Every structure is written in C-alpha cells, then in structure tokens.
Amino acid sequence: MSQALIDLVNISKSFDGELVLDDLNLSVKENEFVTLLGPSGCGKTTTLRIIGGFEKADTGKVIFEGQDISLLPPNKRQLNTVFQKYALFPHMNIAENIAFGLKIKNKPKSYIQDKIKYALKLVNLDGFENRTVDSLSGGQQQRIAIARAIVNEPRVLLLDEPLGALDLKLRQDMQYELIRMKKELGITFIYVTHDQEEALTMSDTIVVMNQGYIQQMGTPEQIYNEPENAFVADFIGDSNILHGTMIRDELVEIFGARFACVDKGFGNNTPVDVVIRPEDIDLVAPEDGILVGTCTHLIFKGVHYEMEVTTPDGFEWLVHSTNMCPVGKKVGIHVEPFNIQIMNKPASEDEEVAAYDE
C-alpha cells in the first residue's frame, strides 16, 4: 500500500456558527485522481480550500508527506489551484498569464519561454502566446488557467468545479483532456464537482460528501455498484430505493414478494433498504415475474427506453431497457440476485448523514 501524499486528520470547520466539516479524515495517494463529489453546501469546496491553504480549519491538521502544513500559506505549498472563474489577467497576453507565477519566482527568461511552450502544447493551444484573453472561448480560457497552474510544477493540482461554466459538449471534451493531462504530467489531481457523470468518468477515487461528512469513498465502480447507504445510491445515477425485509441470508422481501439476493449478515426478518438500478430490471411475461405491474410511462432516451412500471402497491419502478414496453401493457419484474443491493436502515436522521465517515 503506497503511503499517502496528503492526509486530512480530524478536520472541522464552521462558518458563522454553522458546522460545514465535522471531524473529516481523508487520505490521498500520489498520482491519484480524487474527486470530491456532493450537493451544494456539502463541504467539498471548503475541504479543497483547506488543502490549498485558502481556509484554516478550526480543528485538525493537513499533513503533506508526513509534514504538518496547516499553517503554511498557499504560495508555500507544493500545489496549485484552478478555479471555476478562471481569474486570468485581461491586460496580459496568454504568454504573460502563464508566466506570471514563474516571474514571481525569478525564473530565467529561457526557462520561462520553454515552460510556456510546453504548457501550451500540453493543453493543445500551440501558438497562442500572443493572443489576448478576450479573444479566447470559455474552453480555451479554462485550458490557459490549467496551463498557468501546471508550469509551476505542483505536486498536486486542485480543481474547483473548473468545467462548470462550459457547455455540455465542451465539458465532455475537457474531461478527456484532463484525464490525458493527468497521465502525461504524473501529478495528483483533487477535483471538486457536483456532477456525478464527471466524477464517474475521470476519477480513480470518488469521495461522496453530504452535510460535512464523507458518506462513501471508493472507485467509480464501487460507488455506483455498491452504494453504502441510500444517499449515495440516490445521488449517484438513477436508483429504485425500496423498503424491504431481510427474511434470512440471501432472501429479501419487497412488497410481499420474495427476491433471491447475494447479501448475508443482516439477520432474520430485519427491515432494510434495497437498491435496484433501473438498467438491472428485466421486464418479462407476467407469469415469469416475481412482481407484476403495468407500464405507465415511456420515454425514448436514444441509447435506451426509460419506462415506469407501477405495481399494485403503487410503487413506480424506474426501468431502463433497449426493449420497449408500450404504455398500458402488463409485465413481470425480474431481477438477478447479484443486482440487488441490501443496506442497513439508518437508526436516525443523524446516523443517515454520518453513515460513512472514515
């Protein structure tokens, strides 16, 4: 197991008496792409600003390679930040914007010129040295902001919703550009977003946050396929989240029907939360289904049909399938055992928020 490059230890932070981060612990390995993901106000940007030195934690430490850097100012830390608002200097051309940090460090002119050319090539903007900021598109300005950060050779690049102002197509293009740059540069990326698709596309590790707590941390596959609580399941992609009863190991009851599953250790006749992704539901002939319902809604989404199947209990099952079921048709619902995810029900609302906090 490689040693952590950054450790956040027992970090708490309040603003105007309101707790934003509550005893947060997080480790980031070298050359890892870590995404802090969560809704607005969950504490992800505050976490990033504490790592960057722009905010000071009320309690806890920021450890970098075993050294406490909690009191170091941002310019003394081996990292650079790219913000959503690019903060480029309009009175400087592109080369001058990129060179700004290097000039402050009194780097030689030839070194600066080499770095400008390298950075522009890396962000696919060769020959833009003499262009003005106003002549660039939003996506190009974002690339220049990234180029300005990477010429300083940071060990860590912090990115605070850097693609938020771009349109969908450009945002998707930039996601692939960031993955390519990360591989080429070999540095650690810590990325903040509320966009689940962005997190799933780019990350080695996703940290799902809510109300100042880490809810779950893992690979994109783990976060999507094995959510540890209902919040994560609901926030990452579409889900059917159902009340169930664990009859015994590998058998759960949902709306009076018994489904085989692969989960164990929940006890007998225990109330549980059940997560079933819409793409994991098979619509079959009514006599072959574990539950029977009627298709009540249908939308064509391009790669699949999105349907709602209402069962007699009134629950509307969300189903994604390449096979279309017309509205009004009676169908059976079947789910393979390994596609059913069982979770403990939180005992209280506080426990639900703090369900995962390493």
Please, what are the domains in the chain?
A: 4-225 (3.40.50.300), 239-345 (2.40.50.140)
As given in the structure block, the two tokens for residue 337 are 């055992």
pLDDT score, position 21: 95
Query: Is the pLDDT confidence value at 272 over 50?
Result: yes
pLDDT by residue (tens digit) across 287-337?
999 999 999 999 999 999 999 999 999 999 999 999 999 999 999 999 999
Query: Is the pLDDT confidence value at 354 over 70?
Result: no
Query: Is the pLDDT confidence value at 86 over 80?
Result: no
Beta bridge partners, 316, equal: 310
pLDDT by residue (tens digit) across 189-211?
999 999 898 999 999 999 999 99
SS3 string of the chain?
A: CCCEEEEEEEEEEEECCEEEEEEEEEEEECCCEEEEECCCCCCHHHHHHHHHCCCCCCEEEEEECCEECCCCCHHHCCEEEECCCCCCCCCCEHHHHHHHHHHHCCCCHHHHHHHHHHHHHHCCCCCCCCCEHHHCCHHHHHHHHHHHHHCCCCCEEEEECCCCCCCHHHHHHHHHHHHHHHHHHCCEEEEEECCHHHHHHHCCEEEEEECCEEEEEECHHHHHHCCCCHHHHHHCCCCEEEEEEEEECCEEEECCEEEECCCCCCCCCEEEEEEECHHHEEEECHHHCCEEEEEEEEEECCCCEEEEEECCCCCEEEEEECCCCCCCCEEEEEECHHHCEEEECCCCHHHHHCCCCC
pLDDT score, position 173: 82
Query: Is the pLDDT confidence value at 101 over 90?
Result: no
Quote the pTM value.
0.84
Q: What is the DSSP pairing of strand 59-64 with strand 341-344?
A: unpaired
pLDDT score, position 232: 93
d(C-alpha 11, C-alpha 26), whole Å: 9
Compute CA 211 distance to the chain's CA centroid, rounded to the nearest angstrom: 15
Query: Is the pLDDT confidence value at 351 over 90?
Result: no
pLDDT by residue (tens digit) across 10-69?
999 999 989 999 999 999 999 999 999 999 889 999 999 999 999 999 999 999 999 999
Mean pLDDT of all residues in the chain?
Answer: 90
